[in-house]
Amino acid sequence: MPNNDWILDVLSDLKTFAAANGLSALAEQLDDTRLIAAAEIAFKNEEALAPANGNKGRIEPGPRGIGQHQHA
């Protein structure tokens, strides 16, 4: 799977620009967006590492919506 971490750097740069230019609401939104992107990238990486036998189990968001836990 290609490395998608570059998007996290782009979002960080956009957040820095927004904060430096008085766009505080946008900076906060970009911070949230970066967290979502990191979670999705991690999920895709876990999918790529799943066993080839098709018995991946179910991965669902954690109780707070951030992070994940796995069911057998």
**SS3 letters across the chain:** CCCCCHHHHHHHHHHHHHHHCCCHHHHHHHHHHHHHHHHHHHHHHHHHCCCCCCCCCEEEECCCCCCEEEEC
Q: What are phi and psi of 27, to 5 degrees?
A: -60, -40
In tens digits, the chain (72 residues) has pLDDT values of: 458 889 999 999 999 999 999 999 999 999 999 999 999 999 988 887 777 656 555 556 666 665 555 554
Q: What are phi and psi of 64, to 5 degrees?
A: -100, 5
With a threshold of 0.85, does the pTM exceed it?
A: no
What's the confidence (pLDDT) of residue 66? Answer: 58
